């Protein structure tokens, strides 16, 4: 394995810890530990996004998965009281789960191997004024203006991908209303 840049070193550090944490999710005896390992994996994924210069996406990853989803998982685990059931949570669906897992691995490996990856790694250009300043991603709009990745995401969401964006928000709204309906229970119940 040849090391080309500092980014690569950082990437391998992140990847090793993320994969180790992912293994921890599967092999941890306590289900709360599994959930905590899952959070580690998700947050380190955000680190990979930073390496790809997608700062906005990485922070949204931390916000949504580190802050929101992990708390939901924790609450679900805690309220369902599975804490007493220590040991591997095997069940009758174990053979099906193995097949499904292998199928997902096959698809992912095929996808990774068939993709044409960009060969040349762009060198880190260090701005002159301050070495600490984080490098900005600059993309161009059709008018030729320079944009940061936040602007680019906003621009694309409201022009090219306006319909999927609205559909996604509608789905979330439906889920929200459904959750409130389920949580309210019977009408005559005293809240």
Q: What is the DSSP string of 55-108?
A: HHHHHHHIIIIIIIIHHHHHHHHHHTTGGG--S----TTHHHHHHHHHHHHHHH
Question: What CA–CA distances, in Å, run from 108 to 31, 45, 79, 104?
Answer: 26, 17, 34, 6
Q: How many CB atoms lie within 10 A of CB 21?
A: 19
What is the C-alpha R_g of the chain?
22
In sign, the C-alpha dihedral spanning 77, 81, 84, 87 is: negative
Residue 32 touches other proteins, criterion: CB under 8 A: yes
Q: Considering only residues 68 through 127, tell me which ones interact with other proteins, judged by CB under 8 A.
A: 68, 70-71, 74-75, 78, 126
Residue 66 touches other proteins, criterion: CB under 8 A: yes
Q: For other proteins, which stretch binds (CB under 8 A), given 35-43, 85-93, 112-120, 160-168?
A: 35-43
The site that binds other proteins (CB under 8 A) totals a number of residues, namely 29
Single residue of 9, 51, 52, 67 touching other proteins by CB under 8 A: 67
- Torsion angle (degrees, nearest 10) of CA 104, 105, 106, 110: 110
Contact string 151-180 vs other proteins (x = CB under 8 A): ------------------------------
Residue 184 touches other proteins, criterion: CB under 8 A: no
Q: Considering only residues 118 through 157, tell me which ones interact with other proteins, judged by CB under 8 A.
A: 126, 130-134, 136, 148, 150
Supply the minimum distance, in Å, between the C-beta of residue 27 and other proteins. Answer: 15
Single residue of 14, 31, 38, 39 touching other proteins by CB under 8 A: 39
Supply the minimum distance, in Å, between the C-beta of residue 184 and other proteins. Answer: 15
Contact 59, 46 (CB under 8 A): yes
Which residues here bind other proteins, judged by CB under 8 A?
30, 32-33, 36, 39, 43, 55-56, 59-60, 62-63, 66-68, 70-71, 74-75, 78, 126, 130-134, 136, 148, 150
């Amino acid at each position: 394995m040849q090391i080309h840049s500092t980014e690569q070193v950082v990437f391998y550090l992140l990847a090793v810890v993320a994969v180790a944490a992912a293994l921890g999710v599967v092999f941890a005896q306590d289900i709360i530990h599994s959930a905590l390992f899952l959070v580690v994996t998700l947050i380190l994924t955000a680190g990979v996004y930073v390496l790809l210069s997608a700062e906005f996406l990485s922070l949204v990853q931390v916000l949504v998965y580190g802050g929101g989803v992990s708390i939901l998982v924790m609450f679900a685990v805690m309220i369902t009281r599975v804490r007493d059931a220590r040991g591997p949570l095997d069940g009758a669906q174990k053979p099906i789960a193995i097949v499904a897992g292998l199928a997902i691995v096959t698809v992912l490996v095929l996808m990774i191997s068939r993709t044409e990856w960009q060969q040349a790694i762009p060198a880190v250009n260090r701005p002159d004024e301050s070495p600490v300043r984080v490098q900005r991603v600059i993309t161009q709009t059709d008018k030729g203006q320079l944009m940061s990745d936040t602007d680019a995401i906003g621009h694309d969401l409201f022009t090219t991908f306006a319909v999927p964006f609205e559909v996604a928000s509608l789905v979330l709204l439906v889920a929200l209303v459904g959750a409130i309906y389920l949580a309210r229970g019977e009408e005559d119940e005293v809240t």
